Amino acid sequence: MWGSCFSCHKSGGEPSQVDREISAIIKVKIYKYKEIRQATNDFDALNKIGEGGFGSVYKGRLKDGNIAAIKVLSAESRQGVKEFLTEINVISEIQHENLVKLYGCCVERDHRILVYNYLENSSLDMTLLAGGYIKSGIQFDWSTRSRICVGVAKGLAFLHEEVRPHIIHRDIKASNILLDRDLSPKIADFGLAKLMPPNMTHVSTRVAGTIGYLAPEYAVRGQVTRKADVYSFGVLLMEIVSARSNKNTRLPQGYQYLLERAWDLYERNELVDLVDTGLNGVFDGDEACRYLKIGLLCTQDNPKLRPSMSTVVKLLTGEKKDIESRNITRPGLISDFMDLKVKGPVEKKPEEVNRRSNYYTNLSSDNASSSTGTRDNSNAYSSGASSSTAVSTLSSTI
């Protein structure tokens, strides 16, 4: 059923704000709760593929035969309701080969459920980072990594430049890049996305996202632009090339923070040392270094110096060949703003429990979370609970 009229408010009462907002959405399929129960075999525990502070996620087979990831929002999660509405509003209106596909939603009575296409190969942080690809058996050779980098860049370029109004994702990170059967990347989790109104230079908002991927100007001042996504992509790009999380406190000093390590190697003209040794030397050294330089270009401290995502695509594909002539300035490093306060109060967010897919469980709340870079990758959908505590200063999480 497709439509915009819902009988989902409490019997005998007025429609809630949530109901009124959802009723304005017309480009999304509406599933009956009965259909969702049938698809998941009455929410059988064997079909559960994720659980977190905003609810649970189940794998299910729909009536049309499609396999779906069914995200069930818990009734107690107010923040989740806000993200639920944002996600529907943003993703229901757009389609791109490098974005997840929303099949529809269920808003019957108090139920709030999102139905997405199921992606077989989980997320980048589950499979590539911290050696996860060794356990998952997925072959991340250089050509595969290159395709993933270009695919994510194209998806972001689409959001930033082709969609009107422009969309800022605000939470680009490895756990929000899902992989399909062919390892084609899909940008996921639009719960924190912001629309960029015409003629606006930035949007002021409470800081949200994940420390390690946050652009300095956004983390400190709460002013988000498309260049904040560019910064996050730059960090992600270096993670893909190196197969390292942006932070790993188990490593010696000077090696713990990926971006700082990359800058140090760049200054010494030794960037190739950052490339994943798991590739066993089977990669194009010049291309790998070019990708790392693009990552540094994207993470420059001054957001005005960062390229647009369409330019990034051209640099990655070789359509633009001027990376060597570009002046790359020092990146915005974590150490530069460790002691600076994040703008505005930041509330605690629910602890992540038995995460199997960061996207499907939609665990990014409207605050800054920390990422330890250490994960249990024993299962394609199980990354273990990471330490994610909201704080009022960046220094207390780093």
The predicted structure's pLDDT at residue 213: 94
How does pLDDT run across 302-347, given as a tens digit for each residue? 999 999 999 999 999 999 999 999 999 999 986 676 555 444 433 3
The predicted structure's pLDDT at residue 78: 55
Percent of the chain with pLDDT over 70: 71
171 assigned to active site: yes
Residues in binding site for ATP: 71
Q: Are residues 204 and 339 in the same domain?
A: yes
- In angstroms, the Cα distances linking 365 to 5, 77, 360, 370 are 29, 11, 13, 12
Counted domains in the chain: 2
**Which of 179-193, 236-250, 382-396 has the lowest average pLDDT?**
382-396
* CATH code of residue 82: 3.30.200.20
The predicted structure's pLDDT at residue 380: 28
pLDDT tops 70 at residue 157: yes
Residue 228 structural domain: 124-396
Residues in binding site: 71
Q: Are residues 168 and 205 in the same domain?
A: yes
The predicted structure's pLDDT at residue 160: 97
How does pLDDT run across 217-271, given as a tens digit for each residue? 988 888 899 999 999 999 999 999 999 999 988 888 888 999 999 999 999 999 9
Between 37 and 354, the higher pLDDT residue: 37
Q: Are residues 240 and 367 in the same domain?
A: yes
Q: Are residues 203 and 293 in the same domain?
A: yes
Q: Are residues 82 and 210 in the same domain?
A: no
Tell me if 7 is assigned to some domain: no
Domain stop point among 75, 93, 117? 117
The predicted structure's pLDDT at residue 381: 29
pLDDT tops 90 at residue 27: no
The predicted structure's pLDDT at residue 332: 92
* CATH code of residue 372: 1.10.510.10
Q: The tokens of 344 are what? A: 């505005």
Choice among 42, 64, 110, 171 that is catalytic: 171
Tell me if 94 is assigned to some domain: yes
The predicted structure's pLDDT at residue 138: 87
pTM for the complete prediction? Answer: 0.80
Q: Could you tell me if 94 and 121 are in contact, meaning their C-beta atoms sit under 8 angstroms apart?
A: no
Tell me if 47 is assigned to some domain: yes
Which whole number is the average pLDDT over 11-27?
A: 60
Query: For all residues of the chain together, what is the average pLDDT?
Result: 79
How does pLDDT run across 161-171, given as a tens digit for each residue? 999 999 999 99
